[in-house]
Amino acid sequence: MAGCSEFDLIDRHLAGLGAERDDVLLGPGDDAAITQDGGRPLLMALDTLVEGVHFPADLPAYWVGYRALAVNLSDIAAMGGEPCWALLGLTLPAPDESWVAQFASGLGRLARASGVAVIGGDVTRGPLTVSLQITGRATGAPLRRDGAHAGDRVWLSGRPGEAAAGLAVWQQEGAREQARWQGLRQAFIAPRPRVALGQALVGVASAAIDLSDGLAADAGHIAARSGVALHLDPPRGRPSARLLRWAGEAEARRLQLGGGDDYELCFTAPREADVMVRAAARRARTPVRCIGEVHEGEGVWWGGEPILDRAAGYCHFVS
């Protein structure tokens, strides 16, 4: 099975391990699992950051800490939840106290701002790796990947593609260019998880996902889980002006569809909910735009053409 993706490994060997419990409302396959023990359902997710894989080795510790929480908040956002508690697993090559202090400062600041208590974890020696488990509360019926219907519209927050460009700026450009493309760089370093938008969309959106691997691949998860096709419209999904300036038309499209690291929300909602979607976005002070429609069928379509190349999205074990 050399060359299989992380999704193959999960589907074939890891999903559904252990006891069957009737307090598990949703297991593997969505942005977070849903469990219930009286009260409101709980949302649980875990994401790991590995140095050199998820962030460049020269990223300041402050931003490593910030990102470790931000990417997990994004999963709770995609379910429309309220983030509450986190457990932190930290693997360090050496006990570098000033690095850990900076890391803690970045993580702690975002945790306070988002109302999350870090209630435990684990510290070990090894290659620099940060694993964070987050638990949130549902604020209503959680947004899931499997609720899109033919006839719904497809919506997108923010400016996907900018973060992948920002990583390239960080890695390739000299000091002058770094300053010139500061906005793109910031999109990678400090993603803004869309927690307020997710919550505002509860009861409005029919399905949602956060974008970590790239718009094409992640929209593909909504399509697959909902049993529908997502038809995206290139003019409405136009990349931002600064991304177009930095990358040019073709590369901007590639970054937008397959760059990853965006931590924006892609969601669907019935046509009749247009006004409510716009009101939710205003309440959450988050820019959103309609970029397409849900049809019967399968897969993600771009300007009438199917996006067949799943490798367009980030995949850990496919180069």
Ligand X SMILES: Nc1ncnc2c1ncn2[C@@H]1O[C@H](COP(=O)(O)OP(=O)(O)O)[C@@H](O)[C@H]1O
Ligand Y SMILES: Cc1ncc(C[n+]2csc(CCOP(=O)(O)OP(=O)(O)O)c2C)c(N)n1
Q: Which residue ranges make up the annotated binding site for Mg(2+)?
A: 31, 47, 75, 122, 210, 213
Q: Which is nearer to ligand X, 72 or 139 (CB)?
A: 72
Q: Taking CB under 6 A as the rule, does residue 261 contact ligand Y?
A: yes
Tell which residue, 12, 56, 30, 92, has the closest CA to residue 166.
56
Residue 14 interacting entry, from ligand Y, ligand X, Mg ion, none, C-beta within 5 to 8 Å by type: ligand X
Candidates 114, 157, 212, 240; binder of ligand X (CB under 6 A) is 212
Euclidean distance between CA atoms 136 and 45, whole angstroms: 9
Instruction: Tell me how many residues contact Mg ion (CB under 5 A).
Output: 1
In the list Mg ion, ligand X, ligand Y, none, the entry touching 54 (Cβ below 5 to 8 angstroms by class) is ligand Y
CB of 150 to ligand Y, least distance (A): 27
Least separation in angstroms between residue 67's CB and ligand Y is 9
31 binds, among Mg ion, ligand Y, ligand X, none (CB under 5 to 8 A by kind): ligand X
Determine the residue type at 264.
Answer: E
Sheet holding 299-302, edge to edge: 207-210, 265-269, 153-157, 288-295, 229-232, 299-302, 305-306
CB contact set of 314 (below 8 Å; sequence gap of 6+): 212, 213, 214, 217, 258, 260, 261
Site string for ligand X, 29-58 (x = CB under 6 A): xxx---------------x-----------
Q: Which is nearer to ligand Y, 75 or 293 (CB)?
A: 75
Residue among 163 and 232 whose Cβ is closer to ligand Y:
163
CB-based burial of residue 194 (10 Å sphere; 0-12 exposed, 13-18 middle, 19+ buried)? buried
141 binds, among ligand Y, ligand X, Mg ion, none (CB under 5 to 8 A by kind): none
- Using DSSP bridges, classify how beta strands 299-302 and 229-232 pair: parallel, antiparallel or unpaired: parallel
Cα 263 from Cα 261, distance rounded (Å): 6
Which one of residues 30, 31, 47, 262 is an interface residue with Mg ion (CB under 5 A)? 47
Which range in 45-53, 120-128, 195-203, 296-304 contacts ligand Y by CB under 6 A?
45-53
User: In whole angstroms, how close is the CB of 272 to ligand X at the nearest point?
Assistant: 29
Task: Output the known binding site for substrate.
Answer: 54, 261, 314
Tell the residue number behind the tokens 């590639």, with chain if given. Answer: 254
Interface residues with ligand Y (CB under 6 A) are 47, 52-56, 71, 167, 212-213, 260-261, 314
Interface residues with Mg ion (CB under 5 A) are 47
Interface residues with ligand X (CB under 6 A) are 10, 14-15, 28-31, 47, 75, 212
